[in-house]
Amino acid sequence: MLKSLKARRSELSYKQKQIDHLEGGKFATGELKTFEDHLREIDDYPLKPTGIEIFQVNVGYMCNQVCKHCHVDAGPDRKEIMTRETIDQCLEVIDRIGVKTLDLTGGAPEMNPHFRYFVSEAVKRGVEEVIVRCNLTIIVANKKYYDLPEFFIENKVRVVSSLPYFDASKTDAQRGEGVFGKSIEALKMLNAVGYGVEGSKHKLDLVYNPNGAFLPGDQQTLEGQFKRQLKRNFDIEFNNLLCITNLPIARFLDYLIASENYDEYMEKIVNAYNPAAVRNVMCRDSISVSWDGWLYDCDFNQMLELKVDKELGNHISEFDEEKLNQRTIKTGQHCFGCTAGAGSSCQGATT
């Protein structure tokens, strides 16, 4: 079984080692123009937020899966879990600034012992949309999770689920043996309670990310393929497909280096840079909160420990919306992943 970088004691489990790798090579020699240099050429420089529309919270790195591409380096051996105290601090911010969208991620967010409390309290506080990023297999992993579809329905959760492909070979190659079959079982359970089916208001979206060192195809085209194949072969329905580019950090960076695809992939995403995609990247309308309460521009910056500047208040306990809305967003070479081709964010393509 694949282990996390941390469990393997890989040098890439140290965030600075990842950054050093990303800032070195052809960027250091000038053969590739840096992301900062690209940004200087557009009207949006320096990159600033447009406001906090999405409050994204990573409630822990523990997961029942160990996926080859995982930018979180999540897995069963990761013990970092958000405490009830930090969740209550998040809820206080939700009350104070009137958060409209709460986006819960992990790991498998459902494995946090306070997950259901967080969801139900957010709903009570008037959050209009609670998104849960579910890996699907958690629903069938243990009896204590079997009722998750009903819990999601009761709390009007929007379920965003990972499914790298509509067949077993590519899905299992990326996410582990047997994952596809369990994912199909979970999708049927979600459909059975009304998620993703025609005429239902309960939204079920799937997430596609490439199984290798290449960019995703056209989101609309892929969505059509997924819908036809899943309906024909398994009688499964869903709403939208979100295409997300694999960013060269954590386990995907490890894969790129080990497979000797790193230079080629970086050249690919640099050459596919799309300035139009910059306008809608998720760091502009979101704030990301780590399991221990630190604040980041996005989930990817969180994984590289690129915190919001301290003078702005960079912990949930000192959250200052006005200051955060004036910040300059921190960028690096990994940001090419969000701005290549049609763009990529947690909500899918950006152009």
Mean pLDDT of 13-21: 96
C-alpha dist (Å) from residue 92 to 122, 125, 246, 256: 10, 10, 33, 41
Work out whether strand 286-289 and strand 295-296 pair parallel, antiparallel, or are unpaired.
antiparallel
What is the pLDDT, as a whole number, of residue 172? 87
| Nearest alpha carbon to residue 195 among 141, 240, 155, 159 | 159
Write down the H helix ranges in 193-285. Answer: 219-234, 250-258, 262-271, 275-278
- The DSSP code sequence of 44-66 is TPSP------EEEEE-BSB-S--
pLDDT at 43 over 90: no
Averaged pLDDT of the chain: 96
351 is a domain residue: no
Phi (first) and psi of residue 157, to 5 degrees? -75, 140
Enter the DSSP assignment of 137: G
Both tokens assigned to 48: 């600033």
325 is a domain residue: no
197 is a domain residue: yes
Question: Residue 218 and residue 225: Cα distance in Å, rounded?
Answer: 11
pLDDT at 157 over 90: yes
335 is a domain residue: no
Asked if 343 and 350 count as a contact pair (C-beta separation under 8 A), the reply is yes
17 is a domain residue: yes
244 is a domain residue: yes
pLDDT band at 2 (very low <50, low <70, confident <90, very high): confident
pLDDT band at 263 (very low <50, low <70, confident <90, very high): very high
pLDDT at 1 over 80: no
* Residues whose CB is less than 8 angstroms from the CB of residue 154 and which lie 6 or more positions away in sequence, other chains included: none
Mean pLDDT of 160-178: 91
Question: Residue 260 and residue 282: Cα distance in Å, rounded?
Answer: 30
* Number of structural domains in the chain: 1
Range of the domain at 202: 5-29+51-265
Stated pTM of the model: 0.96
What is the pLDDT, as a whole number, of residue 284? 96
Angle at the Cα of 15 (from 261 to 246), degrees rounded to 5?
40
What is the pLDDT, as a whole number, of residue 207? 96
What is the pLDDT, as a whole number, of residue 211? 86
150 is a domain residue: yes
Mean pLDDT of 43-52: 92
pLDDT band at 221 (very low <50, low <70, confident <90, very high): very high
Which class for 235: exposed (0-12), middle (13-18), buried (19 or more C-beta within 10 A)?
A: exposed
Question: Residue 351 and residue 336: Cα distance in Å, rounded?
Answer: 15
Which CATH number goes with the domain that contains 60? 3.20.20.70
60 is a domain residue: yes
What is the pLDDT, as a whole number, of residue 48? 96
What is the pLDDT, as a whole number, of residue 42? 87
| Nearest alpha carbon to residue 135 among 185, 87, 201, 85 | 185
